[in-house]
Amino acid sequence: MEKFDIIIIGAGPGGLTAGIYAGRQGTKNLIIDKNLAGGLGREVPEMENYPGFDNISGLELIEKMKAQSVKNCQLNEMEEVQEIIKTDNEYRFTVKTNKDSYQSKTIILATGSSHRHLNTIGEEEFKGKGVSYCATCDGFFFAGRDIIMVGGGNSALQEALYLKNLGANVTIVHRRDEFRAQKHLQNLIREAGINVILNATVEEIKGEMLVESVILKDTVTNELSEHPTNGVFISVGYVPHTELAKQLGVSLDETGHILTDKNQKTNVDYVYAIGDVCVGLKQWVVACGEGAVAATSAFQDIQ
């Protein structure tokens, strides 16, 4: 088995940054990702709050970070880690994937998260037939059509603006009486003239072959109403990927996120965690900072 000083599991913004920092320390390192590098970052239509860029898409920034990372660290894409086994020698972990096995002195978990589902009637049935979790991926198909965007956070409002710019007729549905998103985004929604329905939940997604309407429930009156639509875009948060963390005995908080200290160390020696899988602010720049800290911590502990 090939041996490494640091294996980073996940090639999102945090994982790629960890790879950059790890490589510059002179250690032998590997990043493994079951998909293409970038994770959910590839879906971000545009960012206006990443330092150094007034406006940049997630995909463009990922490609820049990937190019920099592979100069410093080996990257294996489309390879899924299935098991991590603790050992008693210098290479404390055996990492088994669907393609190979590796040994490493340390592990950085950058496993990220996936889109949370509504778990409502019709959601699974119409996935790919009008139900989507990625405006960047699927928005092009809905130009000039009616869309319901479900959610009230930053991502939901960013994607609503993106869809509006594509020419879609967007209505945002949010279960609370106010958005959680930044005031700047809320102002942009008003300026764009995007319709908003507050205090409402999606109870059912209906149609024949494709989505044709949604049933909304007023959370104040419990009244049901049907709204015609061609698509339902869902942005209601994320579920952290902690299966490997649980294998290793890593501690989680009550929401299922990994607990770390200020050095990104978990309760398990030589195991670190970064990014959306951790407790904390879900922001690209935060994941990058945590990646730098974790790689430095791993290097110091190896020394």
Q: Give the C-alpha separation, 269 to 266, whole Å.
A: 7
Beta strand spans in 40-117 (E): 74-76, 81-86, 93-97, 101-109, 113-115
Beta strand spans in 110-245 (E): 113-115, 131-132, 146-150, 169-173, 195-197, 200-207, 211-218, 224-228, 231-234, 238-240
DSSP string for residues in 195-209: EEE-SEEEEEEEESS
**DSSP summary character for residue 35:** S
Q: Is the dihedral of CA 104, 108, 109, 110 positive or negative?
A: negative
Of the residues 5, 33, 73, 138, which is catalytic? 138
**Known catalytic residue at 278:** no
**Known catalytic residue at 137:** yes
CB 93 within 8 A of CB 175: no
Which positions ≥6 away from 232 have C-beta within 8 Å? 126, 130, 131, 132, 147, 148, 150, 202, 205, 211, 214
Beta 29-32 vs 113-115: how paired, if at all? unpaired
3-state secondary structure of 43: helix
Of the residues 100, 137, 177, 269, which is catalytic? 137
Q: Give the C-alpha separation, 194 to 28, whole Å.
A: 50
**DSSP summary character for residue 92:** -
Which positions ≥6 away from 169 have C-beta within 8 Å? 144, 145, 146, 147
**Known catalytic residue at 138:** yes
β partners of residue 231? 147
- Which positions are catalytic? 134, 137-138
